[in-house]
Structure 1
């Protein structure tokens, strides 16, 4: 009997050790999975319906679900190669305006073999450089390595097809992993100071709960969370500012990096198998206009944007026309640097005097106001709250757009312009949905107070990408946020400014901050909405 005791003890010890190791592993896994799970707040937030919100969130996430990957770990030779892929224009080389042009895209790998599944991120436009014309169109994924685009033929002349692979499906799989596992890959910091004592700590929307004590800066009105690690010597109430700390490195493996190579598989055009252009003839007699079916917002012709919803766009070519339009108006701009471009456009008017609203505000941060006292014009800009990747912002100036909108009375002489997307690219879609939901509620309240208030929501736009920037600011992240924004504001009495199509349809290179020619067209759209033709 005694001979069996050591063996029994050994078994017990092994079981205990296994259980302990399993416990530690679970703790580590739970900690890593809770990067964006924040502590419950005791703050009382505005009335909401958690069940309805959860249902809406599931529906939204399902609407942007991306296919694949079906097989993981394949060699790079078996991934999508844009130069070996090709597109085919269906039909005659001469077609009539008012019709539709069907283009089939066939994706192949680096071995020249057809891909058997979809999931590649492709963009498409039809353009006529000599006419300054272009239209963007959605690409339909058949999930078998083939795609189709159905362009509307909106002008007469020679039109070229341009199909671009932004990312292969294998790269999208990496981006999906990063979004889930590395939401804090952009990190932030804050300075804490009291007298001669100063400390800097890391801040974010989501921080590990069991690493260090946290300072909780959750907004009391919206419930939007924000945390900083508590300083060693100072209290949480000594926080001075907020700024971008930097970007995490070594996010992907050497294998994954093969799918993010400049001039190889990031924003590379796909060639035509034969003809890459068509000649569009004048409309045939009796031929009806092509139906838009809400697929495209508009197109360029002679460098001017023409909406397809029938809206009349005027060109405000001089400052006097803009001044006449804005006389007696108050314009409130909230969001990121892409809406600040609109502020800069208008503040350049000779009669508008730029005012610095806080002593320590920098040029990019704001808040700013431009005033024309003679014509009673007021244009203001304020950046949105965390996560904002700007340089130093005073913590007292970190305002949430939803709270700021509740301070606006509104009315026929009030214009609200909002752009908020780029700084959310690294975070899970649930976080962006929550932020948009708060803004949507306050927009509804604003329009209930004053239905004549003009509210313009700007969508995301494409930008220049490289191997590094793709991991933080890929157009794929922007596309997902863009789709969520469109659905969440659908049905509201707001104007959607389609920056995505305005940048995709234009001939100028993609840029986070679109060039002046595109900004001018955007402002013409906004000003035309503020001042219909009969009012000028």
Structure 2
């Protein structure tokens, strides 16, 4: 189905989508839903916020140290008793940062998806955008099409795998606006939705969500992250 514009609205600090019915899951329902799940988060630091927030949602999740370098190392959450694995991995070049990071385990999202066998208990969430803004739009388009083709291959070998697109969000307009401004981001947001409209993927509309919350920060506040995760749980539970 085509995503409506806008994708939702806020009511009493809660995000309400305009295209599906949402339910508020309690702790027991969330724990039961996530039991046995393998969840792969692929993208930038705006998706890394999820892996920092998820232990607040499921308190039995603990970080496992993979001995990486810096804040952009691979992050892993485990609950061995319930067989829950949640992994965050950064997308590869272009990746614009002043922080030190290792390129030993660099992985483009299409390649990462190709290495995931997939099944009914596997979930992939991906996002692209912020780091592509300063570069020619054709680089972004080619990468998104590569991701689309990787997801098509995934669905051929494992149609039960759930895939969720989290769109990029807005950011502040006072830091290097010419290269990183939301003008570039909005074009990428429209391209992303257009390329994936014919695939059976869930969409978390972080763009409309951050506008509704008046969040002018590349890393949205916890209110926004909580509502993104709530919508994510609605897709997989």
The Cα of 1:293 is off from its aligned counterpart by: 8.2
Task: State the match for 2:164 in structure 1.
Answer: 456
Kept in 2, the 8 Å contact 1:356–1:367? The answer is no
Matched residue SS, 2:118: coil
Deviations 1:429-471 (A, max 9, x none): 10001111111110111111111111111112111111x4212
CA spacing shift, 1:480–1:380, aligned 2, 3 Å = same
Deviations 1:201-234 (A, max 9, x none): xxxxxxxxxxxxxxxxxxxxxxxxxxxxxxxxxx
Distance in 2 separating the partners of 1:412 and 1:301: 33
For structure 1, the 5+ residue unaligned runs are: 1-291, 532-536
Distance in 1 separating the partners of 2:182 and 2:157: 37
Match of 1:478 among 180, 185, 194: 185
Residue 368 (str. 1) matches residue 78 (str. 2): no
TM-score with structure 2 setting the length? 0.93
CA spacing shift, 1:516–1:428, aligned 2, 3 Å = same
Task: State the match for 1:299 in structure 2.
Answer: 9
Q: Which structure is higher in helix share?
A: 2
Matched residue SS, 1:393: coil
Match of 1:308 among 18, 28, 45: 18
Task: State the match for 2:62 in structure 1.
Answer: 353
Task: State the match for 1:511 in structure 2.
Answer: 217
Which of 1 and 2 has higher RCO (CA within 8 Å, sep 6+)? 2
Distance in 2 separating the partners of 1:449 and 1:495: 19
Distance in 1 separating the partners of 2:131 and 2:79: 32
The Cα of 1:301 is off from its aligned counterpart by: 1.7
The Cα of 1:294 is off from its aligned counterpart by: 2.3
Match of 1:380 among 78, 87, 90: 87
Please list every run of at least 4 consecutive aligned residues from structure 1 whose deviation after the TM superposition is greater than 4 angstroms. none
Task: State the match for 2:116 in structure 1.
Answer: 408
Task: State the match for 1:529 in structure 2.
Answer: 235
Of the two, which has the highest radius of gyration? 1
TM-score with structure 1 setting the length? 0.42
The Cα of 1:317 is off from its aligned counterpart by: 5.5
Distance in 2 separating the partners of 1:402 and 1:347: 27
Matched residue SS, 1:500: helix
Matched residue SS, 1:379: strand
Task: State the match for 1:192 in structure 2.
Answer: none
CA RMSD of aligned residues (A): 1.7
Deviations 1:469-525 (A, max 9, x none): 21221010101111111111111011111111111112x432111111111111110
For structure 2, the 5+ residue unaligned runs are: none
Count of residues in Structure 1 that have an aligned counterpart in Structure 2: 234
CA spacing shift, 1:442–1:394, aligned 2, 3 Å = same
